[in-house]
Structure 1
């Protein structure tokens, strides 16, 4: 797919309103390529088509300008309505160079063939051109249709007569048709829809605005629109099934040309939305093996780890904006760091080593400083003043600290020994160009931003933030700050879980409280599925009469009620609602917190595109006595006091204040155990759970 331009050379740095090209195969698109002018672009396209033809491939090459004019221009120029004769006519007359062309003069000449004024308009030059008005309203009596039939059916399309101004496409057509003519001649390519597509290369007209909604929805804030839209259009067209692509191409032959996909915008938008969305979860991703009754914690975690995958889309953003974002692709160093040998200290440079004893070295004129390299060569036996970060001049491989040197009479005196390479940094000793410096799934830290920037990386592919809906259920809940009726309690879970998930770096969506009413809960879940990537509920997750979360998930065919051998914690209700994973946590705040830390944290990390999160436990001496039965893993609220682990006095899971008292959890494995003060226990600080 090619986004064309009728303007002058745009320079070496990628810019908008320039020429962008993107190739895709089977729904997988390459990175868009910036081409600074039409000469460079035609050479690139020609080489690409030649390589593909030699490889035995077929190519659909799309260009975003009109392939024809409204009926009438062809007969005036060539004596026939053959649009390909118009291509030949322009190819013979257009004069083009990187910074100058004759498109405005040529348009004026064409206008002179018609009565009145027009049809071309939009003189973009400072000098006046005969028969070419600057304003469209100045035209009259030329008797040519204003738009092709294709433009009449596309909202926002500009007429091919406008050569300058916002949205003008006329210059692109004049400067593009000669290139198409040469490609058609060189490769025997078929021009659609003027010719049958019986050759291995098809030239087709495209208009990326047909998928404008998908482009807007998926375009990163700092991405160039032209680059992004050819990337997305190439991706979706190359991934279309043959039958759908044939539907787009199956249009009547006409001398004005046609836009590929016109009349099938819904199909293209749907394909675009599928292309930018990650694959859905399997319907059975939460199903435990048959016969499982009380599931050990490790078994449950292993199952989650193997069944889940990222559900977030990928976008490109600049490195300074990427802190806290999860990498979607590995990052390689753009150049070595340091890029060349340089001084690690302020001092004097020379060729080492120096043996033991006193040494006197004459100084050369000048110095080397960071950003101001010395241009000459330092002779053997001489030294040069050099500052930290300065490139080592030719003839220098060793630096002595200025504090170890005496300077007098344009000489330095120092004592050896000093080994060769002392106080000097080698090129690439930190990172080398092409080296992987950050892996996919890593959540970028401020230190990573420094590393990537030092290696010359400007943009990275990251996952969009995971949108997690938080919902509390139950008629017994009231909002803090409001009057609670008899029998009600204040909803501690929702604000707690919102805060926890925010700390993990995800985007939370507060879904409020759902009553014990399945119709109301269904409506809330329907709304949540349209706005969230994952949903966490608390309460209603068991198998009782009022456990409505479990009951609704049961009807989806994706439901799994996990009886986890864990304390605190009741069964976890897991399933999908309209394709979005739902984690049904216990209603008790302590159990909800523990299950969120143990199960939801690593699961959400994977769904967000990150790595599976394993909390780090530390062996510490117990400061308590505890007798534990076999069969369940227990998590005790705990904190460190005087070098020992102390646990909250009550193990009751209704004592929510114990979460505030604690700084972590003691994890006791599934087996039976008797603990006395001094015995080692595994302490997991809340920081190891990402809090």
Structure 2
């Protein structure tokens, strides 16, 4: 096992503008506090995220390995010629003093590379630049270099198939650009964290935070087999982090070359150890892990299970089952975040006017008014900023949403002013900064604003868009299969029914519930009471779905084939819940896929799905345990309740806000579900309910319907 509590793997990027998705910055993690791969659009934001991670690890007393896919050193002779010291870390400091890299990824890497080339004889060693970039000391093509006196590859790169040279700055495989920018940023980390951070293999010792260089293609065979990831980059950082966490680090970090080579050229952690890293990957971890075969088993001696005990048990044994994918933010409604979202820009991005009116510098006003100020030519409008500055003692016409021009910090409402197009007059006194909005007063740039596990709402999409987030990492939708069984059922409600037949009400109800909860419903159809056909349907569900809901056949009767099949093949645990309606709840695994066997009665199936299915499916979908929010209201009904089980009554609020219940508690009365707008939950103990007594009412909206 790893000597590190946590491992981070960073897929770095030299993009000149913010970017998400493939070929951008990804961070994978393994070990303590591991989360799905995160995609970050700028180097500045990613470094801030790493600072937070490092500080958190130090506070927790953890050791953490942070691996970057950039070169930590250059071929032998480079460092000494450039800095006078044959040490890679001297180059880091040299670059940190010259590289600029702003919050939007704007940087001067090509200019710095040209400066470096001027230190060496001949032409080079760096090459590659955008077309039209006027940098005579930086050739556009590698074959234009001559006489610089340096090797193309480092010793470690000879062990990594397909490695690009550190001198390449542009187009595919521009590891030179990534390394120039990365080394400058990492030099700042070293300065900030001091002795708590070391760089392998240039520095020895047991610092709690260790930076290493790596090569993402070391585990390509595993990446090619991986499923459920947004892109190859996400799979690489996630799997390599896991490999490092499970690998024998003593073996990987043993001195792989001469000390002089390591100090000047650095080394790729894992170079030459591809097989060891692949072996360290636990195959089931390539996709979200399945549930344990015995996860639903209740402790021996448990007979009737209280509702809260059943819910606690489900919460303890379930975990997310879905992979991660990258989607445009405008298509992410209802999806579950697999990353924290960080604001790419502030909202508002600049100070602006909250009203239509006239803007000026508050300190130019004298006394308490009234005031008359001359107007400058032009105006400021949203999307049409005022060109230039507003001189002290002048005002400018400004419209709602317009950026405050230089020289303006206060705006007076248009209705409070009189103007003849050359002057504006208004009364006083006037408060400073009135009718203006500060830059970032809603959300600041670089701040996390929505967190992992959140199901995105329309308002969230508006916020993310306003903050410059174009793509998000979300959990793949949970695929929920729905299967009905029973000879008495007809799947088509338009068919002619015999007296002994009824129409399948559960399947359309459960499929639509799954859809409303944001999952991907999968119709597994209706099967008669034929064990072979039911078994085939469950097999199909296990191939297509993440979880299966069945209704009917889950008790212990002669024709209860679902429970018999699950007992024989699926490791059935039959939970007898102290609940009305819907006591039996069958839970099992079929082909590794969880199966929730619901009662056949539609009312009982509906209540069990809300009470148990909602939180369980939400947890498996990645958005956490969703407990319903109820509130206390006065009862408008009378009931005497016996002790021993919890009861849920179909209910709605009357005009006075009191809970009234459906006229019949019969669990075959489906019309009561349409009549109701929520449930009244009565406790496990005995209760005497009468008008005015307080009861807990849970609206269907609190169950996500």
Q: Which residue of 2 aligns with 1:324?
A: 334
Residues 233, 569 of structure 1: CA spacing in aligned structure 2 closer, same or farther, 3 A cutoff? closer
2:448 pairs, out of 415, 433, 436, with 436
Residues 624, 14 of structure 1: CA spacing in aligned structure 2 closer, same or farther, 3 A cutoff? closer
Q: Which residue of 2 aligns with 1:645?
A: 659
Gaps of 5+ in 2: 1-8, 44-67, 80-86, 90-121, 131-138, 146-160, 163-170, 180-198, 202-210, 253-270
Deviation at 1:291, TM superposition (A): 3.4
Q: Does structure 2 conserve the Cα–Cα contact (< 8 Å) formed by 1:308 and 1:607?
A: yes
Query: What are the within-5 Å matches in structure 2 for residues 13-412 of structure 1?
Result: 44-46=70-72, 96-99=127-130, 101=140, 214=225, 217-218=227-228, 220=230, 227=233, 231=237, 234=240, 238=244, 274-352=284-362, 356-408=368-420, 410-412=422-424
Deviation at 1:239, TM superposition (A): 6.5
Asked if 1:526 corresponds to 2:557, the answer is no
Deviation at 1:380, TM superposition (A): 3.4
Q: Does structure 1 conserve the Cα–Cα contact (< 8 Å) formed by 2:28 and 2:38?
A: no
Q: Distance in 2 between matches of 1:238 and 1:173?
A: 24
1:661 pairs, out of 668, 675, 685, with 675
Three-state SS of the structure 2 residue aligned to 1:583 is strand
Three-state SS of the structure 2 residue aligned to 1:326 is coil
Deviation at 1:577, TM superposition (A): 1.8
Asked if 1:416 corresponds to 2:431, the answer is no
Q: Distance in 2 between matches of 1:622 and 1:525?
A: 44
Deviation at 1:103, TM superposition (A): 6.7
Q: Which residue of 2 aligns with 1:630?
A: 643
| Partner deviation per Cα, 1:429-470 (whole Å, 9 max, x = no partner) | 111123221122111011000111112222222110000111
Three-state SS of the structure 2 residue aligned to 1:551 is helix
Q: Does structure 2 conserve the Cα–Cα contact (< 8 Å) formed by 1:214 and 1:272?
A: no
Q: Which residue of 2 aligns with 1:133?
A: none
Deviation at 1:344, TM superposition (A): 0.6
Q: Does structure 1 conserve the Cα–Cα contact (< 8 Å) formed by 2:216 and 2:237?
A: no
Q: Distance in 2 between matches of 1:271 and 1:234?
A: 8
Residues 33, 534 of structure 1: CA spacing in aligned structure 2 closer, same or farther, 3 A cutoff? closer
How does the TM-score come out when normalised to structure 1? 0.68
- Number of aligned residue pairs: 548
Deviation at 1:172, TM superposition (A): 8.0
Residues 175, 498 of structure 1: CA spacing in aligned structure 2 closer, same or farther, 3 A cutoff? closer
Q: Which residue of 2 aligns with 1:490?
A: 503
Three-state SS of the structure 1 residue aligned to 2:495 is coil
Larger radius of gyration: 1
Deviation at 1:632, TM superposition (A): 1.8
| Partner deviation per Cα, 1:468-518 (whole Å, 9 max, x = no partner) | 111112222222333444533222111111111111111111111233333
Three-state SS of the structure 2 residue aligned to 1:389 is coil
How does the TM-score come out when normalised to structure 2? 0.66
Q: Distance in 2 between matches of 1:394 and 1:34?
A: 30
Q: Does structure 2 conserve the Cα–Cα contact (< 8 Å) formed by 1:25 and 1:239?
A: no
Deviation at 1:427, TM superposition (A): 1.7
Q: Distance in 1 between matches of 2:631 and 2:639?
A: 19
| Partner deviation per Cα, 1:303-359 (whole Å, 9 max, x = no partner) | 222322211112222211211100112222222211222111111112237664411
Deviation at 1:412, TM superposition (A): 1.1
Asked if 1:615 corresponds to 2:646, the answer is no
Q: Distance in 2 between matches of 1:660 and 1:496?
A: 11
How well do the aligned residues superpose, as a CA RMSD in angstroms?
A: 4.6
Q: Distance in 1 between matches of 2:675 and 2:693?
A: 22
Residues 351, 34 of structure 1: CA spacing in aligned structure 2 closer, same or farther, 3 A cutoff? closer
2:483 pairs, out of 471, 475, 478, with 471
Gaps of 5+ in 1: 37-41, 55-90, 107-150, 152-156, 158-170, 180-186, 190-199, 247-259
Residues 413, 523 of structure 1: CA spacing in aligned structure 2 closer, same or farther, 3 A cutoff? same
